[in-house]
Structure 1
Amino acid sequence: MDIQSKACCTRPPVTLTGGYDSYELKGRYTEYNGLKTYETGDSGAKRGIFVIYDVFGLYIQSLKGADILAHNYDELPDSAGKFQVFMPDFFGSHPQDLQNFPPKTPKQFKAISDFMNGYGYPPKTVPLIAPILADIQAKHPEIKSWAIVGFCWGGKIASLVCQKGTAFKAAAQCHPSLLDTEDAKKVAVPMCVLPSQDEVPKVTYLEYFTDQVHGWMTSRADFNNVHNYEEYLRGYRIVRTFFAQYL
């Protein structure tokens, strides 16, 4: 049975200030299989990472995270090498509505629930992965191996597409939602799991970030808090290192 993270549906994203909100992207937007996609990384890199963002879509913290996966970060030692990273915009103009967070009224709770059972229902997104990946591969034949990382609800999707016959060689879930031990039994590739304080360590565990909130690596990352920012970077360093081991 899926275990929904309560924080996923109640905690608002973090609006960055102090210059962090003006982060200059290293990549560009392009289109694959008709879907807007953020693409970043060295065009000669032979390893690819497919990113499934959280329910708030193309948030600046998520975009910066994609850049870190592709290029590393200046303050971090780099032993993993380079990757090409692709983050499709599955929600487009319909991510979770920020006006509903934190939810206080029955109408807001219903709107969040309707989203999770509509645009945010993982089985609706899963069939979109293969054709997007096929289009990327056709245009980037230099990429020889692939990993996938999902955040929040994206973690569920990563677990569903990484079963028998998958094109991915490794996977990661960060502050995952909708956890299900039955999914874990079917995963056919090495998977790195980074739960926050809001997930259930008895269900899944790898590196437990006990003082970080659900979403600390994407839309709920607080760069104005030095420790939280360091943990944000550490999370991405773990994922990059893990993928480098298997790709």
Structure 2
Amino acid sequence: MSTMPASHGHSAACCNIPPIVSKGYQPKGSYEEVGGYKTYVTGPADATKAIVVIYDIFGYFDQTVQGADILAFGDDHQKYKVFMPDWFKGKPCPIEYYPPDTPEKQQALGKFFGEFPPPKIAGYVPEYVDALKAHSPAVSKLAMLGYCWGGKVVALTVKAPTNPFTAAASAHPAMVDAADAEGLTIPFALLASGDENPEDVKKFEENLKVPHHVETFADQIHGWMAARSDLTKERVKAEYERGYKTLLEFFGKHL
């Protein structure tokens, strides 16, 4: 079976590992319109802190929605509202593209990445945050979290002059670039999988001049905290939960 080489800055793992269709999770939140975007909203209504989650290219998978609920309700000492907007407007990357083992699938996947480049989405975020604040006026502090493709969106958003976030994190980010760490002014966490290039992760950490947490979950695949997580496997489930605990601890310190 052929595989797709790294493309559009994504790692080979990102381009070839298919998502896992998880069934049976009952979301704790609801879907609402915020700033013109369908948004998964979860968490206590009176929370004064919020986390904006940028999903991976597969959109609203159960594992990703469950992760949002963990962030919203997993810390006994902090209350968070979590917002996960649908940047793809109901058209995420079809799981049928994975694995991209034919030229047709590779072409389709490349077209998808071309339609949703991270800089484009990052440019929408500040206006979305304005809408979020209008939706939930009690929110005074914000953090941002991105998975895979969304990790690049986070990196670009929080280093821009328009950054509205107090803390940020990425989990198994695609396109890890040490240059994105330069000039960051807010605390940043990076949770890498065993599929990210260790040298890229190391250089990224070396360039961080802000409070940070960088950790590699070496026996986990790219996507283990989002759509590619097979939570039927005990070790994956344990590291999925540990990843979210790590993020909650980080946000608890810096948000």
Deviation at 1:179, TM superposition (A): 1.5
RMSD: 1.3
Structure 2: stretches of 5+ with no match in the other structure? 1-7, 203-213
Secondary structure of the residue that 1:207 maps to in structure 2?
strand
Any conservation in 1 of the 2:9–2:174 contact (CA below 8 Å)?
A: yes
1:68 to 50, 55, 70: 70
Whose RCO is larger (CA < 8 A, sep 6+)?
1
- The answer for the alignment partner of 1:54 in structure 2 is 56
- The answer for the alignment partner of 2:87 in structure 1 is 90
Q: Which runs of 4+ in 1 moved over 6 A?
A: none
Deviation at 1:186, TM superposition (A): 2.6
Any conservation in 2 of the 1:80–1:241 contact (CA below 8 Å)?
A: no
Instruction: Measure, in 2, the Cα distance between the counterparts of 1:39 and 1:26.
Output: 9
1:8 to 14, 19, 22: 14
Pairing 1:1-247 to 2, within 5 Å after superposition? 3-16=9-22, 21-72=23-74, 78=75, 80-119=77-116, 121-163=117-159, 164-205=161-202, 206-247=214-255
**What count of residue pairs does the alignment treat as equivalent?**
236
Identity of paired residues, percent?
A: 39
Any conservation in 1 of the 2:34–2:132 contact (CA below 8 Å)?
A: yes
Instruction: Measure, in 1, the Cα distance between the counterparts of 2:91 and 2:162.
Output: 31
Deviation at 1:79, TM superposition (A): 5.3
Instruction: Measure, in 2, the Cα distance between the counterparts of 1:3 and 1:37.
Output: 27
TM-score normalized by the length of structure 1: 0.92
Any conservation in 1 of the 2:34–2:135 contact (CA below 8 Å)?
A: no
TM-score normalized by the length of structure 2: 0.89
Amino acid at match of 1:126: A
Instruction: Measure, in 2, the Cα distance between the counterparts of 1:33 and 1:53.
Output: 17
Q: 1:173 to 1:190 in 2, by over 3 A?
A: same
Instruction: Measure, in 1, the Cα distance between the counterparts of 2:11 and 2:226.
Output: 15
Amino acid at match of 2:113: M
Instruction: Measure, in 1, the Cα distance between the counterparts of 2:158 and 2:151.
Output: 11
Instruction: Measure, in 1, the Cα distance between the counterparts of 2:53 and 2:77.
Output: 17
Instruction: Measure, in 2, the Cα distance between the counterparts of 1:181 and 1:80.
Output: 33
